[in-house]
Amino acid sequence: MLKKSVVALVLVAMLLTPVLAAPLKAANDAPSRMLLGQDDLPTNPLACPGEEEAMEEPAATEEAEEVVEYNGGQPVDAPDLAGQDIRVLDLPKLIGIAYFAATTKGLNEAAEELGNMEIITDAPTEASVDDQITFIENYVTQGIDVIAFASNDPVAISPALRNALEQGVHVIGFDADSEPDAREWFVNQATFNGMAKAMVDSMVEEVGADGSVAIITSSLTAPNQNRWISEMLAYADKCYPDLNWLETVPSEEDQQLAFQRAQELVNKYGEDLDGIFAMSSVAGPGAADALTQMGVCDQTITVGISTPNQMRPFIENGCAPKVVLWNPIDLGYATAYVIRAVIDGELLPGATEVEAGRLGTLPVINGSEILLGPPTVFTQENINDFDF
Amino acid sequence: MTATTSKPLPQSEATPLGQQLRGLLAFLGSQEFILALGIVLLSLAVYADNPRFGAERNLLSILSNSAYIAVAALGMTVVIITGNIDISVAALLGVLGTIAGQLAVHDYPIWLAWLAPIVFGILIELFIGFLVAYLRIPAIVATLGMMSVLKGGLIFVTGGAWIYDLPKGFFLAQRQPLGIPMPIYFMFALTLLMAIWMRYSATGRAIYAVGGNREAARLSGISEKRILMTVFGINGLMVGISTILFATQFTTIQSTVPPGVELTIITAAVIGGVSILGGSGTVIGAMLGAILIRTIQSGMIFVNVSAYWLQAVQGLLILLTVLVDIFRRRRQMSAIGK
Amino acid sequence: MTTQEAPQERSNLQLSIRNAFLGQEGVLVVIMVIAVIVLSFTSENFLTVDNLLNQARLMTEVGLIALPMTYIIITGGIDLSVGSIFGFSAVMLGWLWKEQSFPLEAAILASIVIGTLSGLLNALFIVYVRVPPIIMTLATLALYRGMAYGISQARSARGYPDWFFQFGQRDFLGIPTQIWFLIVASIFAWILLARTPFGRGIYAIGNNEIGARFSGIPVNRYLLFIYVFAGFMSAVAAFLFTSRVSTTRADSGTGMELDVIAAVVLGGTSIVGGSGTIHGTLLGLVLLQLLKNGLSLSGVKGDATIVVIGVVLILSILINNYIQKRFRQ
């Protein structure tokens, strides 16, 4: 009995050594706290404001020179459905959040305009890539013409998508990509460095180039969020070296947790905290609500990625003076047009642009991505022009 | 202390002083005291490292954020005392929040929007109670099934749309009478009421009796079925109130099930010293359990625990609390055995 | 056992056939036959070899963990930490290989050892410190998930060599490779439960633990084994899962414990202990997967499918209760 208890204790100690060591490590190594939530991919910060005009020309030509070859995949023996009715699976990361309700709305708008497209929206209730894989397998078996996905994990979803391509199903990504060869095209809402620039510029306009900021991200494993944070740090490093990054905390997809995290950050740093980046459409309202209810918006504000309807009260009361987002309805809308163009044989590998209804012509970038455009910054001036 | 009231204390010809001493020792050995001590020591440790933790505003935030967990944990404790469990609470919380929000946004009177989650909470939990008490479906299975039904049903009906533009009067949890957030009043008042009721009412004692020894309870004329219905009804009431505290905190209501909340609620009840086998546990412990969880969560941010390790440290501290409870219980048992 | 008289055996046989029809397994078979008939009418793609094999591939991970979970629930215990052990082992596999430069084979082995040790930690506390299983595993549910996040720093490991995908994405002898794992493990688990003193001991513990102790059954050793077994199987499932999805994430397997428990409970294992079978669990597992798949193929959305599964779970137990009451007395 005693011996076994000792064995148990030793085992516990072994398992827990890293846990016990961790807090110390973090405390002694303060700068590394800021690196939280990043990924290991290379960053590509855009030009700083002010340098823009000077940089514009060379940057444009530079991009034009390094044209990336088409690197998407192609379906095997896909039936020719040009001009015919098609059934499209709309598979967002999860259902039950405003953001993806908006992309679905956009898809349906475009489908109505086009008249020969049926949208079926189906997705897990939690952002789980494993569930998404099950949905893909089921719909491929059931027989679907196109899968439009927003992946919860770029790598994990890819085998299932490749299998769909092999079965002759068209695969188009939006919002969150897979590996390039697992889908034909990806409708990119905004480049990561473009988002990062808009976020950091917006923040600096509010708190100054030497302000102190913290980040509330969604889950620490969320690929888009990690990419944005990496690009934001790189961009700030280049343009605002005096910006003081305090800390990154996760809030999952949980409004209550984001609320609590924002309170903790304010209580921890007090007036030293000038701004909070809220990195998801759920973290945004949570953080802004906390700042509003604490009544600290004169010293701490939040700049978030979120939808206008969720953020309207906080944009109006000044707690979230700037909200950065593309228009998710347009994203869904563009995705539907891209799907139609692929089916009708108008968007072939090597194309440089695509027609997207009321959005006009959208450019192709990075080989097989269609770019929606620069992100929109919602402020008190323009917030009432948007309803989604 | 209540944990052991169902067991007769050893007979002894103790003097009043001896009895007082024994009472004091029982109090010092109770899970509530240990938890309270844990909360205080943890807070002091964090405070020593980062004095900002001790700011009044921060302490109030912690308590306020504990409230909806604590209130739901009160109901959960009562359910667990009877040897049952409810894993559908988070799903129920989501459903009830949506009902309240929809009523408020469609211009029904505010009091109705507040009352509705309580009424529906009680009804749904009574249905679960019926499944458990009369149809003899184990609670874990019945609530696992209900969780699926509620979760899927919520998305099915709402499509997951968020609720905006709630009327100003709706936000009960945002009010701060005397500078103290409303949820804190609810938490303490309900805990106190429940503690008194569990201890002194006949039904309260019958609940312990059913959890402690079903057969003996039946023989002494307690209707187990009625007690189970009561217990789930109370749980529904508590989840309803918890929903109000949760849903009126935010300017928008997310029509989905908050992730992992059922585990937090069950954990609060469990570290509060409720025995999962039934028969013992107190509601005060459950409230302290909820506060301890939030204190751990918040404290770790203040002492700069790496965000990647937050969950592990939290898990470790919960494990430690549970073990303390187990050892305490064992010592008490052996003391009684003597 | 083996030297009983023939008539006795026959009546035993009759009894067991009768029991099989009246037990939860019988109820499940009936529900399943109905479901298959209805679903095969509503979707022509449902009853095809390709679809069924593919579904079997998807249910393997839950199935593997459901086997030890059946043992655990028969003893009246429960293990809520399996989803976290699953995530923890998956992360360790990727981390050891990518960050610590282990050979992949060694990383796979090490991750399975780590999963097994995680199970052992649960087991030691449950058996020797007598922490109730639900409490112990509730705490380690948080702890192991936290370890997964902490050690991996939430980074995913990807880019495995081609041979690694043999286990999760390819076929072996015409059937998806991982199904062989499930078949072998199921046979092993079935024999162990139905045909050995260990199996009888497990039932005895579930019916009356103290009685089992007095009758000389090595209760501690058996209990220790089943929780360790759960850790081991979670780790094996994690390895197959990693091979299937080709990456490791710190959040993989979140909520998986409920799927596992649902399959076991649907399969007729009583949550209060004392009864249950491996074939019942497999039936429960298959029924859940068929329902999810068949409903989806018939055009029912995911949210409605969840509702149906909840209702089936409650109804099947209800029907079983009714039959037990009506025919057994």
One DSSP character per residue, C199-221 reads HHHHHHHHH-HHHHHHTT--HHH
The neighbours of chain B, by the rule of 3 or more Cβ pairs under 8 Å, are: A, C
DSSP state letters, A257-306: HHHHHHHHHHHHHGGG--EEEE-STTHHHHHHHHHHHHT-TTT-EEEEE-
Compare CB distances from B155 to A26, A37, A95 and report the shortest one's residue: A95
Looking at residue B14, what is its pLDDT?
Answer: 52
d(CA C99, CA C147): 16
Q: Which of A144-148, A196-200, B97-101, C153-157 has the lowest mean pLDDT?
A: C153-157
Other CB atoms within 10 A of residue B111 CB: 9
Lowest mean pLDDT among A46-60, B145-159, B168-182, C158-172: A46-60
Return the number of CB contacts < 8 Å for A and B.
132
Q: Mutation target for C interface from A24, A134, A163: give the one with most C CBs within 10 A.
A: A134
Q: Could C245 and A155 be called an inter-chain contact, meaning their C-beta atoms sit closer than 8 Å?
A: yes
AA identity, residue A33: R
Are the beta carbons of A139 and C58 separated by less than 8 Å? no
Res A94: pLDDT: 85
> Is B159 within the bounds of a domain?
yes
The 8-class DSSP code of residue B107 comes to T
Residue A54 has pLDDT above 60, yes or no: no
Are A301 and A288 in contact by the 8 Å Cβ rule? The answer is no
User: In the structure, what pLDDT confidence band is assigned to residue C10 with cuts at 50, 70 and 90?
Assistant: low
**What are the tens digits of pLDDT across the range C50-78?**
888 888 888 999 999 999 999 999 999 99
Give me chain B's average pLDDT, please: 83
Distance, CA of C180 to chain centre: 15
Residue ranges making up the domain that contains B208: 32-325
Task: Kindly indicate the confidence band of residue B5, based on its pLDDT and cuts at 50, 70 and 90.
Answer: very low
Contact present, B109 and B169 (Cβ < 8 Å): no
B26 inside domain: no
Place of tokens 């109006």: A316
How close, in Å, is residue C102 to chain B by CA atoms? 23
* C89 CB within 8 Å of a chain A CB: no
Please check whether residue C182 is in contact with residue C60, taking contact to mean a CB–CB distance below 8 angstroms. yes
The per-residue pLDDT of chain C, averaged, comes to 86
Q: How far apart are CA A124 and CA A120, in angstroms?
A: 14
Q: Which two tokens stand for residue C148?
A: 């997964």
* Chain A residues close to C125, C-beta within 8 Å: 8
With a cut of 60, say whether residue C309 has pLDDT above it. Answer: yes
In angstroms, rounded to a whole number, what is the distance separating the alpha carbons of residues A70 and C29?
52
Helix ranges (H only) for chain B are 16-28, 31-49, 56-81, 89-105, 110-133, 139-158, 182-200, 202-212, 214-219, 224-247, 261-271, 283-302, 310-337
Q: What percent of chain C has pLDDT over 70?
A: 92
pLDDT exceeds cutoff 50 at B6? no
- The pLDDT, as a whole number, for residue A58 is 42
Bridge partners, residue A214, by sequence: A247, A276
The Cβ-side half-sphere exposure at B193, using a 13 Å CA radius, reads: 11
pLDDT of residue A57: 43
Token digits of residue C94: 């990727």
Nearest to B97 by CA among B166, B187, B177: B166
Q: What domains are there in chain A, each with its CATH number?
A: 36-53+191-325 (3.40.50.2300), 86-189+327-373 (3.40.50.2300)
Amino acid at residue number B177:
P
Is residue B185 one of the residues assigned to a domain?
yes
- Segment C196-212, tens digit of pLDDT: 999 999 999 998 888 88
C304 touches chain A (CB under 8 A): no
Q: In angstroms, what CA-CA distances link C28 with A174, C33, C282?
A: 41, 8, 10
Q: Does B333 touch chain C (CB under 8 A)?
A: no
For residue B246, which residues of chain A lie inside 8 Å, CB to CB?
256
Return the pLDDT at B278. Answer: 67
Residue ranges and CATH numbers for the domains of chain C are 24-40+48-327 (1.10.3470)
Q: What is the mean pLDDT of residues C151-157?
A: 84
Q: What is the mean pLDDT of residues A48-53?
A: 65
Of C131, C138, C310, the CB nearest to B145: C310
Nearest-angstrom CA–CA distance, A340 and A360? 15
Which residue type sits at B124? I
pLDDT at A64: 45
Q: Give contacts of C 38-57 with A, CB under 8 A.
A: 43, 45, 48, 50-51, 54-55
Looking at beta carbons, which residues of chain C come within 8 Å of A40?
155
Q: Do B65 and A25 touch (CB under 8 A)?
A: no
CB of A257 within 8 A of CB of A251?
yes
What rounded mean pLDDT belongs to chain A? 82
What CATH number should be reported for the domain holding residue B139? 1.10.3470
- Residue ranges of the alpha helices (H) in C208-301? 209-214, 219-245, 256-266, 278-297
Query: Would B151 be classed as within a structural domain?
Result: yes
Query: Nearest to residue A287, comparing CAs of B171, B298, B250?
Result: B250
Q: Kindly report the CA angle at C61 between C58 and C66, in degrees rounded to 5?
A: 120
Q: Which amino acid is at A374?
A: P
Task: Report how many Cβ contacts below 8 Å link chain B to chain C.
Answer: 134
Cα C316 to Cα B143, C59, C272, C323: the distances in Å are 14, 20, 17, 11
Query: Residue B96: its pLDDT value, please?
Result: 92
| CB-defined contacts A:C, below 8 A | 109
Q: Which of A23, A100, A314 sits opposite B313 (nearest CB)?
A: A23
Q: Is B303 on the interface with A (CB under 8 A)?
A: yes
Rounded to 5°, the CA angle B219-B224-B225 comes to 140
Rounded to the nearest 5°, which phi and psi values hold at B9?
Answer: -75, 150
**Amino acid A238: pLDDT:** 87
Q: How far apart are CA B237 and CA B71, in angstroms?
A: 10
Q: Give the model's confidence band at C16: pLDDT under 50 very low, under 70 low, under 90 confident, else very high.
A: low
Nearest residue in C to B260, CA atom:
C255
Evaluate whether C83 touches C143 at the Cβ level (below 8 Å): no
Contact status, residue B62 vs residue B290, Cβ threshold 8 Å? no
User: What per-residue confidence (pLDDT) applies to A4?
Assistant: 57
**According to the model, what pLDDT value does residue C17 have?**
62
Query: Which chain B residues are Cβ-neighbours of A249 within 8 angstroms?
Result: 301, 307
- pLDDT above 70 covers a percentage of chain A that reads 85
**pLDDT reading at A18 higher than 80:** no
Taking an 8 Å cut-off on Cβ atoms, the answer to whether A101 and B159 are in contact is yes
- Could you tell me if residue B334 is inside a domain? no
| Minimum Cα–Cα distance from B145: chain C residue | C310
Q: What is the mean pLDDT of residues A81-101?
A: 86
Closest residue by Cα to residue A238 from A38, A44, A34, A36: A44
Q: What is the per-residue pLDDT across B118-174, written as a single tens digit (0 to 9) for each?
A: 999 999 999 999 999 888 888 888 998 998 899 888 888 887 777 877 888 788 888
- Neighboring chain C residues of A156 at a CB cutoff of 8 Å: 245-247, 249
Q: Is the pLDDT of residue A30 over 80?
A: no
% of chain A exceeding 90 in pLDDT = 24
Closest CA of chain B from C216, distance in Å: 25
Which helix (H) or strand (E) segment is A355 a member of?
Answer: strand A353-355
Task: Please say if the pLDDT value at position A24 is more than 70.
Answer: no
Closest CA of chain C from A1, distance in Å: 7
- Distances in whole angstroms, Cα of residue C65 to Cα of each of A139, A357, C24, C177, C253: 27, 50, 20, 17, 11
Q: Give tens-digit pLDDT for B201-221.
A: 888 888 888 877 777 777 777
- CB contacts of C129 in chain A (<8 Å) are 5, 8
For position A154, what pLDDT does the model report? 87
Given this model, what pLDDT does residue A51 score?
65
**Residues 187-226, chain B: which have Cβ within 8 Å of A?**
none
Q: Do A4 and C244 touch (CB under 8 A)?
A: no
Q: What is the pLDDT of residues B30-58, one digit of tens each?
A: 778 888 888 898 889 888 888 888 888 88
Could you give the angle at the alpha carbon of A33 between the alpha carbons of A27 and A39, nearest 5°?
150
- What are the DSSP calls for A145-199, one per residue? SEEEE--S-TTTTHHHHHHHHHTT-EEEEESS---GGGSSEEEESS-HHHHHHHH
Mean pLDDT of B233-256: 88
Q: Is the pLDDT of residue A169 over 90?
A: yes
Cβ neighbour number for residue C1 with a 10 Å cutoff: 4
Residue B241's pLDDT is: 94
Please indicate if any CB of chain A lies within 8 Å of the CB of B287.
Answer: no
Contact: A123, C251; criterion CB under 8 Å: no
Tokens of B247: 């849903």
Tell me the shortest Cα–Cα distance from B105 to chain C, in angstroms.
24
The reply to whether residue B307 touches residue A248, judged by beta carbons under 8 angstroms, is yes
Chain C contact present for B140, CB below 8 A: yes
The answer to whether residue B155 is domain-embedded is yes
Cα separation, B176 vs B250, in Å, equals: 14
Which of A22, A255, A294 is facing B305, going by the closest CB pair?
A22
**Element housing C303 (H / E):** helix C302-327
pLDDT at A302: 92
List the single residue in C55, C245, C293 with the smallest CB-CB distance to A156.
C245
Radius of gyration (Cα) for chain A, nearest Å? 23
Burial class (CB in 10 A: 0-12, 13-18, 19+), B24: exposed
Chains within contact range of chain A (3+ C-beta pairs < 8 Å): B, C
Residue A213 DSSP SS3: strand
**Closest chain B residue to the Cα of A30, Cα to Cα:** B304
In this predicted structure, what is the pLDDT of residue A216?
A: 93
Rounded CA gap, A217 and A251, in Å?
A: 6
- CB contacts, 8 Å: B300 with chain C: none
Q: In the predicted model, is pLDDT for residue C85 greater than 90?
A: yes
Q: Residue A32 pLDDT > 60, yes or no?
A: no
The whole-number pLDDT of residue A384 equals: 82
pLDDT of residue A208: 87
For residues A72 and B229, the answer to whether their CB atoms sit within 8 Å is no
Q: Quote the pLDDT of residue C4.
A: 43
Q: Least CB-CB distance to C249: which of A122, A131, A153?
A: A153
What pLDDT score does C14 carry?
A: 66
Q: Do B313 and A26 touch (CB under 8 A)?
A: no
Query: Which residues lie across from C176 on neighbouring strands?
Result: C171
Residue to mutate among A14, A220, A263, A316, with most B CBs inside 10 A, is: A263
Number of CB atoms found within 10 A of residue C234's CB: 36
Instruction: Return the residue of B nearest to C304 by Cα.
Output: B152
Q: Tell me the chain A residues in contact with residue B312 when contact means C-beta distances shorter than 8 Å.
A: 19, 22
In a domain, B261, yes or no: yes
Least confident of A3-7, B241-245, B329-333: A3-7
Into how many domains does chain B fold? 1
Token pair of B143 as six digits: 């609530």
Chain B (291-320) residues lying within 8 Å, Cβ to Cβ, of chain C: 306, 308-316, 318-319
**CB proximity under 8 Å: B 235-264 to A:** 246, 249-252, 254-259
List C-alpha distances in Å: B94 to B90, B117, B162, B169, B253: 6, 10, 12, 21, 9
Report the C-alpha gap between A226 and A153 in whole angstroms.
Answer: 12
Read off the pLDDT of each residue in C207-235 and give the average, rounded to a whole number. 92
**Under 8 Å between Cβ of A356 and A362:** yes
Asked if ipTM goes beyond 0.95, one says: no
Q: Does B338 fall in a domain?
A: no
Between vectors from CA C286 to CA C281 and to CA C288, what angle results, nearest 5°? 95
| A230-247 tens-digit pLDDT | 899 989 888 898 888 888
Identify the residue whose tokens are 């893909």. Answer: A136
pLDDT at residue C228, as a whole number: 95
Q: Do the Cβ atoms of B315 and C140 come within 8 Å?
A: yes
Which run of H or of E encompasses C50?
A: helix C49-74
CA atoms within 13 A on the CB side of C132: 18
Contact residues on chain B for A25, CB-CB shorter than 8 A: 306
Of A287 and C29, which is predicted with more confidence? A287
Residue C253 has pLDDT above 90, yes or no: no
- From A16, A98, A286, residue closest to B162, measured CB to CB: A98
Name the burial class of residue C277, with classes exposed (0-12), middle (13-18) and buried (19+) by CB atoms within 10 angstroms of its CB.
buried
Residues B315, B260: Cα–Cα separation, whole Å: 14
